Amino acid sequence: MKVGIHAGAQDIKGLIEFCKRINVDEICLSASSIDGYKQNGYPDPASLKRVIDALNKAGINVPTMNIGRPSPAALLGELSARGEAEAFRRTVQVVGEAGVYSALYYNRAPAPAPGISEEEQWVRMLAFFRPIIEQAEKSGLRLAAHAYYIPGTMLVWDEATNWRFFEALPSEYNALTYCTKMYMGGDDVYETIPAYGDKIVFAHARDLKRSVGTDYWLRYDETMPGEGDLDWNRVFTLLKGIGYQGLICPEHLGPKRPGQTDQDQLAEAVAYLQKLV
């Protein structure tokens, strides 16, 4: 297991310098930052290869890429979004064939959707993902699904619905992003690690502190790792216990201190987590 960061390819030189400064040699690279993505909906294969080669030459590996958030329209199979569905499949193909191991994506299938039963929504969502997972198998890319953990708003939002999704589309390439945001959805952030086991192929480090608010978004404050409610020693011990060898990236680090930049804050989070590896 290694601590990494989310990053884009807009400034490769600056990214390399920052990674060396904070002693990070693996990153989760954003597919949307690669040439071709904005025009076509998927990265240009040659452009992606150039970026990965440049990073590799500097000693930085790309085991994981963030391949985005399919729209609710695409996930529900609406005719207007068929081009988007094909572009997402093509992204999986390009990223896998570039030698990347896993791909973070966010599942935004809505529940409820107007005029569609929940069961019909499941049928449509699974129809979207079936060819995507088939492509992932062909291209050797393990898909790391990230649920939103917002009760009542998404089809896949907790441990039970994650498992329904995995069991409906059984494949080692239909896998999971472990994210401690599940704390906000009511799942146990510790017990789920051995439960998911080798389904976990990417991980987020996000600390949260329970607040007094009653509204979902106001019940938790985002904090730097180590300053919230989560026991990171326990999280890392459990991840090691399942033999997790992937990347864990800090995110949603809470308010910055006066004078602190985004990079300063990220460097601090990385340094804290690296002590636990």
Confidence at residue 208, expressed as pLDDT on a 0 to 100 scale: 93
Please name the helix (run of DSSP H) or strand (run of DSSP E) that holds residue 252, with its range, or none. Answer: none
Query: So where are the chain's domains?
Result: 2-274
The C-alpha atoms of residue 108 and residue 15 are separated, in whole angstroms, by 30
| Residue 86, pLDDT score | 96
> pLDDT at position 186, please?
87
* Upper half-sphere CA count for residue 105 (Cβ side, 13 Å): 29
Asked if 28 contacts 202 with a C-beta cutoff of 8 angstroms, the reply is: yes
The whole-number pLDDT of residue 214 equals 65
φ, ψ at 211 (rounded to 5°)? -110, -170
Say whether 210 sits in a helix, a strand or coil. Answer: strand
* Among the listed residues 266, 184, 182, 277, the one whose alpha carbon sits nearest the alpha carbon of residue 225: 266
Compute φ and ψ for 61, nearest 5 degrees. Answer: -100, 155
The β-bridge relationship of strands 2-3 and 247-250 is parallel
244 contacts: CB under 8 Å, gap ≥ 6: 1, 200, 203
In the prediction, which pLDDT does 69 show?
Answer: 95
- For the chain, which ranges sit under pLDDT 70? 213-218
Q: ∠119-134-150 over CA atoms, to 5°?
A: 40
Q: What pLDDT, on a 0 to 100 scale, did the predictor assign at position 112?
A: 85
> Which of the four CATH numbers 3.30.360.10, 3.20.20.150, 3.40.50.150, 3.90.180.10 does domain 2-274 have?
3.20.20.150
Q: Percentage of residues in the chain with pLDDT exceeding 70?
A: 97
- Which residue shows structure tokens 């990079």? 263
User: For residue 102, which of 148, 64, 60 has the smallest C-alpha distance?
Assistant: 64
Please, which residues bridge with residue 210 across strands? 220
Q: What pLDDT is attached to residue 103?
A: 98
- Supply 64's token pair: 């994981």
pLDDT score recorded for residue 184: 86
Residues 6+ apart with CB under 8 A from 131: 89
Q: In which residue are the tokens 């086991």 written?
A: 197
> Which pTM was predicted?
0.95
Residues 111 and 94: their CA atoms lie apart, in Å, by: 30
Q: What is the pLDDT of residue 138?
A: 98
Locate 88 and state its tokens.
Answer: 């997402």
Spell out the long-range contacts of 185-191 with Cβ–Cβ below 8 A and sequence spacing 24 or more: 185/147, 185/149, 185/150, 185/151, 185/157, 185/158, 186/151, 186/158, 187/149, 187/158, 187/159, 189/230, 189/235, 190/231, 190/234, 190/235, 190/238
